[in-house]
Structure 1
Amino acid sequence: MRFEATEFESLKVDLNRLDEIMESHGLVRAGQWDYERVTYDRKFEIREGIFYLRIQGLAVEGDIGKHDAVIQLMTPLLGKHYYPHGVEYGEGEEFPKHLVTSCEKLLADVKKDAMNFAW
């Protein structure tokens, strides 16, 4: 599921600030990066299954490996985990309403914080 209405695509944020913002909202980058891309995930283990909220970004300036980059955020995604195949983000997936509502609030909070540091 794509959260199109978030307008995350209009945000560019310094990587170090972005890491702080995401971590404060439970979104983890861990080893999910290369020199041009970052991915932040938050895992939800609920009665209906395991789901992941994912926010990705591209470096438009600098180098992620050197912690000196400006990140252009992308449209957030919500996916369902299927063992052993992985996470499915497809439009055919059904997501619990309470989870979608929680993710929308979380994304609004992340956007509000990120806008304070947007380029």
Structure 2
Amino acid sequence: MKFENTGFEGLKADLRRLDDVMLEYGLVRESQWDYDRVTYDRKFELNEGVFYLRVQGYAVEGDVGANKALVQLLTPLLGKYYYPHGVEYGEGENFPKSLVTQCETILTNLKEEISAIAKK
């Protein structure tokens, strides 16, 4: 599921500051990066299954591997994990309403904080 019109598209921020802000909301980068892309995930374990809120971005300047990059964010996603295949983000997935609402709240607050550190 895509969270359209959240305002994340086009937001640019310094990687190190972005890492800190994302972590405040439980979104971790861990080893999910390469030299020009990043992925932040937050895991939700519910009775209905395991879900991931995902925010991705790519470096418009610098190098993620060197921890010196300006990252442009993309549209946030919500996916459901299926063992052993992985996470599915399709529109045909069924997401609990309470989870969607929780993710929307997280993204609204997160966008506000990222906007404060964003580069124009």
* TM-score bracket for the superposition, by shorter chain length: over 0.9
Secondary structure of 1:71 counterpart: strand
- 1:116 and 1:89 map into 2 onto residues whose CA distance is 29
User: Match of 1:81, as an amino acid?
Assistant: Y
Partner of 2:2: 2
User: Match of 1:6, as an amino acid?
Assistant: T
Structure 1, unaligned runs of 5 or more: none
- Structure 2 length-normalised TM: 0.97
The Cα shift of 1:7 comes to 1.6
1:23-34 equivalences under 5 Å are 23-34=23-34
- 2:98 and 2:19 map into 1 onto residues whose CA distance is 26
Partner of 2:64: 64
2:92 counterpart of 1:92: yes
Q: How many residues align?
A: 119
User: Match of 2:109, as an amino acid?
Assistant: D
Secondary structure of 2:107 counterpart: helix
Partner of 1:37: 37
Note the aligned Cα RMSD (angstroms).
Answer: 0.6
1:12-31 equivalences under 5 Å are 12-31=12-31
- 2:2 and 2:63 map into 1 onto residues whose CA distance is 27
Once the two structures are superposed, what CA deviation does each residue of 1:49-94 show, in whole Å capped at 9, x if it has no partner?
A: 1000000000000111111100000000000001111110001101
The Cα shift of 1:5 comes to 1.7
Partner of 2:101: 101
User: Match of 2:114, as an amino acid?
Assistant: A
Identity in percent = 65
Once the two structures are superposed, what CA deviation does each residue of 1:35-60 show, in whole Å capped at 9, x if it has no partner?
A: 00000000000111100000000000
- 1:80 and 1:95 map into 2 onto residues whose CA distance is 8
The Cα shift of 1:10 comes to 2.1
Partner of 2:54: 54
